[in-house]
Structure 1
Amino acid sequence: MLASSSNTASSVNTASVWRGKGLWGAVVVVFATLLAPVVAAVLVYHLDSFDPSPIPLQELSSVAPVAASMVNDHMLEGAEFLGKGQLEGPEDIAYDAKSQVIYTGCRDGWIKRVTVNESSAEAQVQNFVNTGGSPLGLVFGHNNELIVADASKGLLNISEGGAVELLTDGAEDLKFKLTDAVDVAEDGIIYFTDASYKYDVHHAVWDFLEGRPYGRLCSYNPVTKETKVLVRDLYFANGVAVSPDQNYVILCETPRRRCRKINIQGEKKGEIETFVDDLPGYPDNIHYDGEGHYWIAFPWGIAKGWEMAYRYPFIRKIRALLVKYVGRPNMEKNAGVFVVDLEGKPVAHYYEPELSMITSGIKIQNYLYCGSIKYQFIIRNNLDQYPAHHSSYK
């Protein structure tokens, strides 16, 4: 009986030990399963060569965004969709008042003519010319030629007959990587932006994530054929508009949520000033309406995720790794158009919470026309029927 009891106790102790080892083994497996992705993520973070830059403190702002007293925060209500399914990402819009035809550049390389009908949403869409690149900014020159900022090709001149001529594709021994927006002064000088001399149009998000000022404002003289760099070290230099008095150029810096004023005439020639800062969105193209107002397109409104990433490089690197290995998260919303007067003071804000990637807004008669690199149509709003109203929105 004693021997039997001893053997039984030994068996119980052995079983307890093995049960302990099994439990410990399970803990190890679970812990390793949970820890492995963390370890892998840390290794990827440290081994990946992408190196986002800290933003200088003077470039950061803790000021509340400016607000317009007139607001339409449901701009899709009553909106019409022109050329639906026939326009692949119509980035910008140029209006030929003589023929009353809209021209827009699409991501498939086509510049298209859009003939609109004010009484209906029906629009006639025709192919004009394919640049073989990525036509972004558009403006008409003094001889009815179309001046195009093609992200892939450079600055182009397209005649009424559709002949494409390259005007310039670089400056100061540095090729343009992302020719973006364009406007023409009364003296014929063309002002345009190279949004980033490092990243092309297909990798523009990396410019935002890296956080270094690779943008430039340039000019081209069609008489002398000279290309000049007017301003360097811009944070994704985007939309441009020559002022009605021809004394300055307004330029949009997208990630900085600001527009700057570059003096091109007079005593202040060469000086750079703030035109409007702390915008409630990230500015893209800007258009003057001939009536004392600039219309600034917002691809998206203020997003806490972007704002945090802008302040902290490690967050931008994490986002970069997500873009690289998982895919770009869709965080853009509240896109629309912000209106300011000649002094940069807010006048009105048209937007929609569900909208994203509105890249241009232009007022033609009593309509607002919006281009987008995302949608397959141009959005049109009747400003008389669906105006902005006084609001207490912040």
Structure 2
Amino acid sequence: MEWFSRSNGELFAEQVSVANIAEQFGTPTYIYSRAGFEAGYKAYEEALSGHPHLICYAVKANSNLAVLNVLAKLGAGFDLVSVGELERVLAAGGDPAKVVFSGVGKQRHEIRRALEVGIHCFNVESEVELERIQEEAAAMNKVASISMRVNPDVDAQTHPYISTGLKDNKFGIDISRAPEVYQRAAELPNIDIVGVDCHIGSQLTTKEPFIDALDRLLILVDQLAERGIKLKHLDIGGGLGISYDGEVPPTPTEYLSEVRGHLMAQEKYQHLAIVVEPGRSIAGNAGLLATEVELIKKSDHKNFVVVDAAMNDLLRPSIYSAYHGIEPVQQDDSKESLFCDVVGPICETGDFLGKDRDIKVAEGDLLAVMSSGAYGFGMSSNYNSRNRIAEVMVDGDKVHQVRRRETIQEQFATESLLPEE
């Protein structure tokens, strides 16, 4: 995370002190690095240079308009799963012709809007959905480009809640059933088959599951060719992990060079463009969560550092037992190290940001929860009627507030009392 570094023991976001950001915007606050997002995206561009490709950033990882705009300016496409995400992409200057629409529950109005703006393709996840897209496209006198998302039954060796490529997962069409579904799609007058899609899970730290899935996809490509169905692109999804706690995942180049090698090894695959849907590997290490220590609660059994951030701000530790590094914003070696859990004020035992940590900390100190640029704010809520927090983007020596802190009144704005009797 070179865009978050220390100078004389003080943590900086690019060229700006995190402490100064916290003083200006309060805590808790998400702090993003523009350079971090750009570097994450460019790593994929470099890895796929010279081969036809489309890099579709997974909007669910971090959907702030400023983040989407930074990536759109670099030429990114977008992978999305709702009409809300589509509207965000459009508002941020994204090109709808570079959008793939995934998700198992696309509603009819979402399909119509996507057809209206002219997205690149739908990633179809069921036979029922295929028929629904045909109906809506016919009603609008349009042709819908589609790619089938297939489920290859590959174990991604990741947390079960973020595994998506096993038979027991809700995603995609069983790969053994896929040729018949493609045959049906080829018969539909308002459907244009353009590719095949596969996404097996998130936070993968080895290449083997990716390559296993790729090999199974290429067998399907051959089966479809025998039926006269020739694909234009191979969407290999996202899921590449980042280092939260010493993991050493492959780089985009290390991973994608093998994918390219598989395609270039045989002439029959060389025409296939590569589509990727990275999210975490672009956003994760481009952000941190700044939080202030409210109090320290000590007992004979356990020490708790209670901070002003909570599970409603960063849910990953609570639902995935996910690890995030937690560091003092300003290091002070004169302080005694405390073995503790870092917890929030929410009335849930599961409200923690880190367990069993050694931190040199005192009341009023600032802490940085690292690697929280992905699945942080996007999964936040108003639980316990807490306001959703601010987001800022650092660009060199400049700081821009890209979402202001919510107010209590804004929480109430869409609610109403019952009328008086």
TM-score scaled by length of structure 2: 0.29
TM-score scaled by length of structure 1: 0.30
Higher helix share: 2
- The structure with the larger Rg is 1
